Homo-oligomer: A and B are copies of this chain.
Amino acid sequence: MTIAIHPLESALRPAPDPFAFGDLAAVKFPYADAVVVTYAPGQEVVGEGDPTENYYLVVRGVFRAVKVTRDGRRQIFAFYMPGDMCGLEPEDTHGLTIEAVNAGAIAALTRQACRARMARDPQFNAAIFDNVTRALTHAVDHMTMVGRSSAEERLAWFLSMLSARSPGRRSASIELTMQRQDIADYLGLTIETVSRTFTHLKAQGLIALPTTRRIDILRPDLLARLASADRDAPICDYRAVC
C-alpha cells in the first residue's frame, strides 16, 4: 500500500513546525537522483497494484491518497501538500492510489536510492523516520474523528487543520483546493452530509462561504472546540478575550 507520510497536521495540538519542504532541503534530499513530474488535475501518480518503485515528495499542488473498495466505496487517507512525502510502502505493490487533486508536481526518488541514502546518511534517515511516525500520529487523530465524531465535529476538525496548514498559518480565510466529494471521502461521510454541515456551520455563524471553495473562519474558538471532540469544554468567546 501507498503510505501516507506527513499528511495534514492536526490544528488541535500545538505541534512543532510541520516537516516542510525547507526541512527536506536542509537534509539534502537528493534532487540530483530525483525526477520531477507534473500532473494534471485528477491524474494518477501511482495506482493500486503498481509496483512500489519510487518514493515521492510533493513539490507543488495537492495530492490525495485514495483507497477504493471493489464495490466502489472510497476512503481518502491523506492529502499531501508541498514538502510531504508519500509512497513509502513495505509491500512490493501499492495498496493506495496517489492522484493529483489539482495541477501539481511531484519528485520521484527510487526506492533503492532512498534506502541507500537512509543507510549512509543518519540525518536524512532521521528526517524520513520522523516523517513516517508523524504520519502515524496523524492517522490516529484521523481515525478517532472518523470513528467517534459527528459530521459537524469532523468538518470542524478538517477546517481547523486546513487553517493551521494553509499559507499564513491560522489564516481566517482558507481555500478549499479539493471538491466536496474528496472532503466527504476523507471524513467518511457522504457529499450531501458535508454540504449540509457546511450550511449548518454557516447558519451557526462559525464560518462564512463567500464562494463554494472559499471558507472564512469567523469563530476559530468554537470551531476548535467542536474539533477537539470535547462536548464538555467551556465555550470561550475569543472576541471577548482578544
A residues engaging B (CB < 8 A)?
Answer: 1, 3-4, 13, 15-16, 65, 67, 69-71, 73-75, 77, 88-91, 95-96, 115, 118-119, 122, 125-126, 128-130, 132-137, 139-144, 146-149, 187-188, 228-233
30 A–B contacts from the bound complex (CB under 8 Å): A1-B136, A3-B140, A69-B228, A69-B229, A69-B230, A70-B232, A71-B230, A73-B144, A73-B229, A75-B140, A75-B143, A77-B139, A77-B143, A89-B133, A90-B130, A90-B133, A90-B137, A95-B140, A96-B140, A118-B122, A118-B125, A119-B122, A119-B125, A129-B132, A132-B132, A136-B139, A142-B143, A146-B146, A146-B147, A147-B147
Most B CB within 10 A of own CB, among A115, A229, A230? A229
From the candidates B3, B15, B137, name the one contacting A3 in the complex (CB within 8 A): B137
Judging by beta carbons under 8 Å apart, are A140 and B229 in contact?
A: no
Q: Which residues on the B side are within 8 Å of A89 (C-beta)?
A: 133, 137
A115: chain B residues within 8 A (beta carbon): 126
- The interface centre, meaning the residue of A75, A122, A149 with most chain B CB atoms within 10 A of its CB, is A75
Q: Which single member of B70, B90, B228 contacts A229 (CB below 8 Å)?
A: B70
A231–B70 Cα distance when bound, in Å, is 8
Residues in B with CB closer than 8 Å to A122 are 118-119
Task: Give the complex CA separation of A188 and B143 in angstroms.
Answer: 9
Task: Please indicate the chain B residues that have their CB under 8 angstroms from the CB of A228 in the complex.
Answer: 69-70
- Complex contacts, A142 vs chain B, CB 8 Å: 143
- Other than A73-B148, A129-B132, A148-B188, give 13 A-B pairs with Cβ distance below 8 A: A1-B141, A3-B136, A3-B140, A67-B144, A69-B144, A69-B230, A75-B143, A75-B147, A89-B133, A95-B137, A132-B133, A132-B136, A143-B188
Q: Which residues of B contact A148 (CB under 8 A)?
A: 69, 73-75, 188
